[in-house]
Chain A
Amino acid sequence: MYALIDVHKRYGLRTVALRKLNLEIRHREFFVLYGPAGAGKSTILNLIAGLTKPTSGDISRDGVSIAHLPPERRGAAMAFENYALYSHLSVAENLAFPLRAAGLDRSEIESRVKRIASVLGIPHVLDRRPGFLSGGQRQRVALGRAIIRPADIYLLDEPIGHLDAKLRHRMRAELKALAVEMNATVVFTTTSSKEALALGDRVGILNSGRLEQVGTPAELYNSPANTFVASFVGDPPMSFLSVTARRSSDGVKLYNGDGQAIASAPFDVLGRTALKAGLRSNAIQLVDAQTSGALKGSVQVVEHLGHSNIAVIAAGGDSIQVSLPADRRLKPGEPVGMIIDPRQIHLFADERALVGEHV
C-alpha cells in the first residue's frame, strides 16, 4: 500500500501543485486519478516515483516512509504522457532497456520483449525506431516499457489519452484485462470521465491540487461530495438549478429563479442559503407544457447521440439537460414541462452536498 500523507507541493515560490493531500493506493487496485489539466495528477505520480520531492509531508509504502529514497528504489514503473521513448534505440531496445538495466541475461530479455510485443500487438515494428511509428504504436511501446518488468506499482500518466476514439476504446479494455491478469497495483491518470468510471476500482477526483473526493465509480456518481465532483462525473454532466426552499400548503418546496416550484424538498432544508439542486439527465421526465405541477421551460438545443438525444432546456435562468429517447422529436423554442423526481435531487449548499435521510 502506498500512501501520501499531508503532502504539500510547491513549484517555485508561487505555483502550488498540491495542497495538504492525503491519499491511499491499496494493494492490487486500479486507482484512477481524474481531473482537469493542471490539477496535479502528474505531480502525484512523480512524487510516488520519486522524480520530485514533496515540499512538506510524507510518502510511505506499507507504513514505512520512502520519501528519502531515490527513484530506482521506489519499486515503481512509469509510462509518461509524452511517451519518452529513446529515439536513438529501436522499439525492441526500448522495451529491453529496463530489463538490461536490471541485468537480465540476453535470452530472457529476448523472450520477454517478444511476449510483451505480442500482447500489445506491435511485434512487426520491433526493429523500427520510434520516429517511424504512429502515435498509437508509440503509446503502446511506452506502455510496454512500463509494464515489461515486475514493479510494486505501475504509474500510467494518461497512457491512452492521445489515441483516436476507436483505438482508445480498444486499449481501455485491453489495459483493464492486462492489469487484472498481472495482478498489478496501477495508478492511472485521465481527463476523461468515461475512462475514469470504466477503469477505476476507485477514482480520486483532483481539482487545483486538492483531492475533492475518493470513491468507487458508483459512489462518485450517486453521492458526489460537491458540485465540482457532480459536474465532472457522468456524461452528460449534472445540471444545476439555483433554488430557494419555502414552506407551502403541502410541505417544503424548492423554487427556481422564476418562482416556479420545481419539486418538494427531499428533506428539511429550510433556512439554508446558496442552495443548488443537481439533476442527472435521466431524473427528469418530459411532459406537455400544460401539465399541472410541471416545471415550465423552452427547448434551446437538441444534441443527437444516436442511441438517445440530449435536450438542453432553459427554465428560470438555468440550463437543464434532459435525456430523451432517440425517436422523440423536439424543436428549439418549443415549450415543454418537466416532472422532477424529488428522490433523485442532489442538494448542495455553498457547493457542498447536503445529506438527508433519502441518501
Chain B
Amino acid sequence: MLRRKSSWPVEVLRYGTILLVILFFFFPIFWMVLTSFKPESAIMVSPPQFFFTPTLDNYAHALVDKNFLFYVKNTLIISVISTLIVVAFGSLAAYSFARFNVGDGHILFFILSTKMMPAIAVILPYFLIFRDLGKTAIGKSLHLGLDQHGALIVSYVMFNLPFAIWLLVSFFQDIPRELEHSARLDGLSRLQVLRKVTFPLAAPGIAVTAVFTLIFCWNEFLFAYILTRKAASTVTVGVESFFTLQGILWGPVAAAATIAVAPMLVFVLVMQRYMVRGLTFGAVRG
C-alpha cells in the first residue's frame, strides 16, 4: 500500500508510539529470557538488576536435572499431531459447510455450541472415559489411556475442531464459486479443483487456523495436568514441577519457559508469510 510521506515530527511520533507498544508487549518475554541467565543471587532482588554476570546454571538445571527436553518432545508430538488432524478434517468440513450449506446452518451451529461448555465441566468424564478406554484393545493400540499421548491428542482435537471449522468456513466462503467453475470447465475434476485452486487460495486461512490451534495445544494446562502423570506430560505440566517444597526455582523456571516458548516463536515467524491478508485480492471484480 502506498502512503503519503508525512513530515518528520509526525514520523517521529509514529515510530515512538510503535516502539512504546513493542516495549510494553515484549517486556515480559524479555524479562523471562533475562532471568533465565541470572545467577540465583540476582533474581529476587530489589531494585531489579539489568546488569549481572550471565550464567547457564539455570539451563543446566532445567535440561539435565529436570530433563525438560522430555516435556518439550511430548508437547511437540501432541501439538503437531493434533494440529494436523484439526486442519485436515477442519478444512474439509468447512469446505462442505461453505459450498454445499450442509445442515442449513444448524449443524454448523451445533458444532460451535460444543465450545460453549466450560472445559472443566467435562474433565471428570474425560478422565473416566480415557481410564476405561486405556484398558480396551483399541485403546491400547492407539495409546488412548491415561498418561498416554493419544488421550491428549483426542482431547485437543475435540476442543479445537469446532473453532477451526468456524474460522475456516468464512475463508472458504470468500473464495468465489466462479474460480472453481472455471477450473471445472478447464477439465479438472472436483478433487483436482480442491487441490489446485481452492486450497491454495485458502492457504492464509488454513495457516491462521494452524497457528491458533498449535498455540492452544502448546499452552494447554488443565487437561494435560489431569490426564497425564509423567510419560505424556507436556511443558506446561513440566514447568509446574519446578514449584517444589523448597520453594519456586525462578531461574530454572525462566530457562524452561524460554525453551518452551522458542519453538512457537519460530513457528509463528515462519507462518507469518502465509498469514498475510489480501492474497485473494484481485480474484474478482471490485
Q: Is the CB of A101 within 8 A of B187?
A: yes
Contact string against A for B residues 181-220, beta-carbon threshold 8 Å, 1 for contact and 0 otherwise: 1111111110010000100110100000000000000000
- 6 A-B residue pairings within 8 Å (CB atoms): A70-B184, A72-B186, A84-B179, A84-B182, A84-B283, A87-B280
B residues 150-191 in Cβ contact with A at 8 Å: 176, 178-179, 181-189
Give the total of A residues in contact with B, Cβ under 8 Å.
33
Which residue on A lies nearest to B180, using beta carbons? A84
Residues of A within 8 A of B183 (CB): 97, 101
Inside 8 A of A131's CB, which chain B residues have their CB? 278, 281-283
Minimum Cβ distance to chain B for residue A82 (Å):
4
Residues of A within 8 A of B181 (CB): 46, 49, 51, 71, 78, 80, 84
Q: Which of A70, A81, A88 contacts B279 (CB 8 A)?
A: A88
B135-157 interface (Cβ within 8 A of A): none
Contact A133:B282 (CB < 8 A) given known A87-B201, A101-B183: yes
Q: How far is the CA of A74 from the CA of B187 in the complex (A)?
A: 10
Pick from B187, B189, B283: contact of A130, CB under 8 Å? B283
Are A162 and B187 interface neighbours, CB within 8 A?
no
B118 interface contact, C-beta 8 A? no
Contact check, A49 vs B282: say whether CB atoms are below 8 A apart: no
Q: Given contacts A72-B184, A101-B188, A135-B285, could you give 13 more A-B pairs where the C-beta distance is less than 8 Å?
A: A51-B184, A51-B185, A72-B186, A80-B181, A82-B176, A84-B284, A85-B179, A85-B282, A86-B197, A88-B201, A98-B186, A101-B192, A138-B282
Q: Which residues of B contact A82 (CB under 8 A)?
A: 176, 178, 284-286
Residue positions of A touching B, CB distance < 8 A: 46, 49, 51, 70-72, 74, 76-78, 80-88, 97-98, 101-102, 129-133, 135, 138, 145, 149, 162
- Report A23 CB to chain B, min CB distance, Å: 20
A256 to B170, CA, bound (A): 59
Q: Which residues of A contact B197 (CB under 8 A)?
A: 86
- Distance in angstroms from B265 CB to nearest chain A CB is 27
Contacts of A51 in B (CB 8 A): 181, 184-185
CB-CB nearest in chain A for B286: A82
CB distance from A133 to the nearest CB of B (A): 7
Across-interface contacts of B184 in A (CB, < 8 A)? 51, 70-72
Known: A86-B201, A87-B201, A102-B187. A78 touches B282 (CB 8 A): no
User: Cβ of A87 and Cβ of B188 under 8 Å apart?
Assistant: no
B283 touches A86 (CB 8 A): yes
**Minimum C-beta distance from A330 to chain B (A):** 41
Q: With contacts A51-B181, A71-B181, A86-B197 known, is A101 near B283, CB below 8 A?
A: no
What string of 1s and 0s marks CB contacts (under 8 Å) between B262-285 and chain A? 000000000000000011111111
User: Which residues on the A side are within 8 Å of B188 (C-beta)?
Assistant: 72, 101
Q: B283 touching A85 by the CB < 8 A rule?
A: yes
| CB-nearest residue of chain B to A133 | B282
Name the contact of B281 in the complex, choosing from A49, A87, A101, A145 (C-beta under 8 A): A87
Whether A71 pairs with B185 at a CB distance below 8 angstroms is: yes
- Bound-state CA distance A265–B279 (Å) is 65
Identity of the chain A residue whose Cβ is nearest the Cβ of B190 in the assembled complex = A70
